[in-house]
Amino acid sequence: MNRRHLFTAAALLAALGLAGCKEEPASPQATAEPEQTFQWKMVTAWPKNYPGLGTAAERLAERVKVMSNGRLTIKVYAGGELVPPLEVFDAVSRGTAELGHGAAYYWKGKVPAAQFFTAVPFGLSTSEMNAWLSKGGGQALWDEAYAPYGVKPMVVGNTGMQMGGWYNKEINSLDDLKGLKIRMPGLGGEVLSKLGATTVNLPGGEVFTSLQSNAIDATDWVSPYNDLAFGLHKAAKFYYYPGWQEPQAVLELLINQKALDSLPADLQAILTEAARAASQDMLDDYVYHNAMALDELKQQGTLLKRFPDDVLAAMQRESAVVLGELAAQSELNGRIWASMQAFQAQVSQMHQLSEKELYNWR
């Protein structure tokens, strides 16, 4: 009996020992499929590494790469490298590139409603525009305008309020605008056309040479930061303000809708949040560098001039006409303009008591 108990105990211990030596099942990490990666192209409307605009596109691409741990990489192309600057929208629409970086008024010939989604003369400020898009229904209208072309738009930056432009002659009255050839895109250009000027739309890379060679008499561009980088103070003497034509200027990230739909949910979220971060980064960039650049321009002999009140009043009147005509072109345009006007009327009540009062007193 004792021997039987001994053999039974030994067998039990041996079985337990074998059980302890069994291989553990492979961990899920060891057998999981490798995560899918995406290599995208971004075409832009800007010169290579151009301060504020071109560099913002590069920083966005780097931010997405880091946030996605390399699962989504973006190669950035300057204007003209893959497609001309003013063909960015078309390139994204047809899938030549998954992303585009530009400004909505460049595509007005293809999507007239696009002009509402960047610089509207005498319109919303930067903070107001961002709030209208994200909270006031503007984004849904923007999506609706671009959806027929297979493009999803997002805010990817804002240069803030711009300057009124560079002129080779003084503007003392409305008569001084008549006959001038002025580079000004979008709705502002249409307003100046009604006031007797001839307006053209040129990409940034052509602005300096056109002004210097007298192919144009005046130009808007952006604000001191970018204008100094282009050397526009060397081609024109008078620097006008305020930027009635661009109280803010949304920069947009254009995304091919099919490409966006192909991304997993986490990469879609990363792209969205990277664009949101890029918007704040660009605004900070312009607030800081505009102040520095304005000092430099003044030291270089630039003459700052304010548009006369009667000229500004005429610009405001004609802006209302131009915007009304654009709104009347389609039912969608009418809804966009009505929404924007209603939001501006509402938000202006607060800003009359806050920002305006502060700026006046300080």
Does the pLDDT of residue 4 top 80, yes or no?
Answer: no
Residue 42 backbone phi and psi in degrees, to 5: -125, 120
What does pTM read for this prediction? 0.87
pLDDT category, 10, cuts 50, 70, 90? Answer: very low
Check: CB of residue 34 under 8 Å from CB of residue 69. no
Residue owning tokens 């003013």: 86
Q: Which residue in this structure is represented by tokens 């056309």? A: 193
Cβ-Cβ contacts under 8 Å for 138 (sequence gap 6 or more): 117, 129, 132, 336, 339, 340, 343
Query: Which DSSP letter does residue 122 get?
Result: T
| Pick among 3.20.20.60, 3.40.190.170, 3.40.50.1000, 3.90.1150.10: CATH of 38-158+248-289 | 3.40.190.170
pLDDT digits (tens, 9 = 90+) for 55-65: 999 999 999 99
Mean per-residue pLDDT over the chain, rounded: 92
Within 9-126, strands assigned E span: 38-44, 72-77, 99-102
Q: How confident is the model at residue 12 (pLDDT cuts 50, 70, 90)?
A: very low
**Helix (H), strand (E) at residue 283:** helix 265-299
* pLDDT at residue 3, as a whole number: 46
Q: Could you report the per-residue pLDDT of 120-169, keeping only the tens digit for each?
A: 999 999 999 999 999 999 999 999 999 999 999 999 999 999 999 999 99
Q: Write the single-letter amino acid at 208.
A: F
Q: Is the pLDDT at 115 greater than 90, yes or no?
A: yes
Contact assessment for residue 243 and residue 161, using Cβ atoms and an 8 Å cutoff: yes
pLDDT category, 9, cuts 50, 70, 90?
A: very low
